[in-house]
Amino acid sequence: MEAAPLSQLTPLQTALKPFRGIASIAPAILAGLVLRLWMLRHFFEVSGDSLVYGGIAKNLLLNGQYALTASADDIYFTLIRLPGYPFFLAVCFKMFGMENYAAAVWVQIAFELAGCILLADCVRQIAPVASKHTAAHCTLWLAALCPFTAIYSVNPLTEAPTLFVISLALWTAARFQHRAGWGTALGFTFAITYAALLRPDGALLGVALGPAMILGLARQVERPAMPIRRAIRMALVCLLLALTPFALWTERNWRVFHVFQPLAPRYATDPGEDIHAGWESWIKTWCLDFASTYNTYWNVPGSTLDLAQLPNRSFDSPAQYAETAALAADYNNNGHTLTPEIDTRFGRLAAERTAAHPFRSHVWLPLGRVADMWLRPRVDNLPIDIDWWIYKRHHVETGFSWTYAALNAMYLLLGFAGLWLRPRMWPWMLAYMLLRSALLLTVEAPETRYTLECFPMLFALGGIALSRMLHRRSA
């Protein structure tokens, strides 16, 4: 049942309306906060990429340099990470204390929960009128209680801010369709720009949702609700604001490293560092799931290459097994270093395997990796063994992992059901998910977190689908 228009409400009802709105969302936000606080207590961790981002943030504050520290008195310039998250950490360190990662996580929790509210309001605008309020509440609960996104809000990584700016982009794009204004245009510009400043693949957000903004602006001109000069001025200002940070970043990289790098390198290497192209090519000929990423890809170079950890698909013949064993022995005996000679040999082995099985290398394995990133239980950052599926080793962990797999499948099915209903903006949300999946076809080593950025779309679409189910059940 639709709420009465403001003109039909009594003065008391009008005064209480904002408080009722807050009261209606408070339980979901409180439940989401409790979930995140529990995860903060049990799963907060500062390691790996967090220390890289934090190291850059510290040097920004202490030395005024976008650099990493090699030793106590030695820092070196870098471009392996985009400046979005280091600057976020630098602001948090400045406000709450140097290396206070916990404070940064509290800020992330606040932003991520705010993103849940933005998604709910976005759905209220794009869902069918008869069910828009129910759909908004369903979306809010789906987003607030999703453990896959919640756990990343309690770790100092780029995922939580990325989820927020994706939600902001969807919300501003939806509002812009109804009424184009400077506020929503600038909000959208900030969202897509900061998404790309957090991670290189964040640029896909602007590619997918940008056409929706352009069409919305064109409709405003046609009505005519906006003079064409104002529309052109708005588009040019937003485009200039979006490009300026990347122009500055590109200029800095050219000045410091003499390279053209408007984003970040594909393999997160500074100019002059070896990307180990042969090794990467060989990994791509057999790596299919996160277990291989964890056991092998993350360990080389620097740790032992264990032949026993390689799956059978790593060898096509006894001769290939013997060659791989020889390569592993040479690498391990050489101080766990991928020398140019060893890397070249891995490249030759990769070329041989690709030439013998082109369909497997170019189609089956890439599709399999994307499927693994979408469907695998999202327990990668939980204290669960990598071989969670072996029931006889750990009954509880296997059962929990399959429960997580079922929960992940539920979110996917609800999202696809929402797409089937074709709410407003569905083509652009689908475009983002397809573009991201297409990009992931190029990834050598799969991780489920690479599909996490699609969950704001799944929350919105799933909320619409769930509201339709509830409406039919009550009818």
- Three-state SS string over the chain comes to CCCCCHHHCCHHHHHHHHHHHHHHHHHHHHHHHHHHHHHHHHHCCCCCHHHHHHHHHHHHHHCCCCEEEEECCEEEECCCCCCHHHHHHHHHHHHHCCCCHHHHHHHHHHHHHHHHHHHHHHHHHHCCHHHHHHHHHHHHHHHHCCHHHHHHHCCCCCHHHHHHHHHHHHHHHHHHHHCCCHHHHHHHHHHHHHHHHHCHHHHHHHHHHHHHHHHHHHHHHHCCCCCHHHHHHHHHHHHHHHHHHHHHHHHHHHHHHCCCCCCCCCCCCCCCCCCCHHHHHHHHCCCCCHHHHHHCHHHCCCCCCCHHHCCHHHCCCHHHHHHHHHHHHHHHHCCCCCCHHHHHHHHHHHHHHHHHCHHHHHHHHHHHHHHHHHHCCCCCCCCCCCCCCCCCCCHHHHHHHHHHHHHHHHHHHHHHHHHHHCCCCHHHHHHHHHHHHHHHCCCCCCCHHHHHHHHHHHHHHHHHHHHHHHHHHHC
pLDDT higher than 70, residue 1 = no
CA separation for the pair 9, 69 (Å, rounded): 63
Q: What is the pLDDT of residue 374?
A: 98
CB atoms within 10 A of CB 362: 13
* Domain-embedded: residue 68: yes
Q: Tell me the per-residue pLDDT of 47-81, one tens digit each, with 9 for 90 and over.
A: 999 999 999 999 999 999 999 998 767 899 999 99
Question: What is the pLDDT averaged over residues 356-368?
Answer: 96
Query: Higher pLDDT residue, 224 or 445?
Result: 445
Encode pLDDT of 8-39 as tens digits.
555 545 454 554 567 778 999 999 999 999 99
347, 353, 356, 360: CA torsion to nearest 10: -120
Q: What is the mean pLDDT of the chain?
A: 92
Convert the pLDDT of each residue in 310-324 to its tens digit: 999 999 999 999 999
Domain closes at, from 356, 380, 411: 356
Cα 229 off chain centre by:
36
In a domain, 287, yes or no: yes
Specify the number of domains making up the chain.
2
pLDDT of residue 446: 96
Residue 252 lies in a domain: no
pLDDT of 473 reads 77
Q: Omega into 161 within 30° of 0, i.e. cis?
A: no
Q: Examine residue 263 and state whether it is found in any structural domain, yes or no.
A: no
Identify whether 377 is part of a domain. no
> What is the spatial distance between Cα 98 and Cα 100, in angstroms, rounded to a whole number?
5
Average pLDDT over residues 79-104: 97
Predicted pLDDT of residue 2: 43
Can you tell me the distance from the alpha carbon of 212 to that of 122, in angstroms, rounded to the nearest whole number?
14
Domain boundary among 81, 99, 117: 99
Write down the residue that tokens 């799956």 correspond to. Answer: 311
Whose tokens are 């005024």? That residue is 64
Distance, in Å, from the CA atom of 188 to the CA atom of 177, rounded to the nearest integer, reads 12
How many Å apart are CA 63 and CA 318, to the nearest integer?
55
Last residue of a domain, one of 356, 381, 413: 356
Q: What is the pLDDT of residues 259-306, one digit of tens each?
A: 999 999 999 999 999 999 999 999 999 999 999 999 999 999 999 999
Q: Per residue in 375-403, pLDDT tens? A: 999 999 999 999 898 888 888 999 999 99
CB 54 within 8 A of CB 89: yes
The rounded percent of the chain whose pLDDT value lies above 70 is: 95
Q: Which two tokens stand for residue 89?
A: 């950490």
AA identity, residue 234: M
339 in any annotated domain: yes
Instruction: Tell me whether residue 137 is in a domain.
Output: no
The pLDDT of residue 46? 95
| Contact in structure between 29 and 121 (CB atoms under 8 Å) | no
pLDDT over threshold 50, residue 453: yes
Q: How far is CA 134 from the centre of its chain?
A: 27
Asked whether residue 341 is assigned to any structural domain, the reply reads yes
β partners of residue 76:
68
Is the CB of residue 158 less than 8 Å from the CB of residue 45?
A: no
Q: What is the pLDDT of residue 151?
A: 97
- Quick check: 179 pLDDT over 90? no
Q: Which of 101-115, 215-229, 283-297 shows the lowest per-residue confidence on average (mean pLDDT)?
A: 215-229
CA distance 284 to 366: 8
Q: For residue range 134-175, what is the model confidence (pLDDT) as tens digits?
A: 999 999 999 999 999 999 999 999 999 999 999 999 999 999
Task: Print the domain residue range for 60.
Answer: 46-99
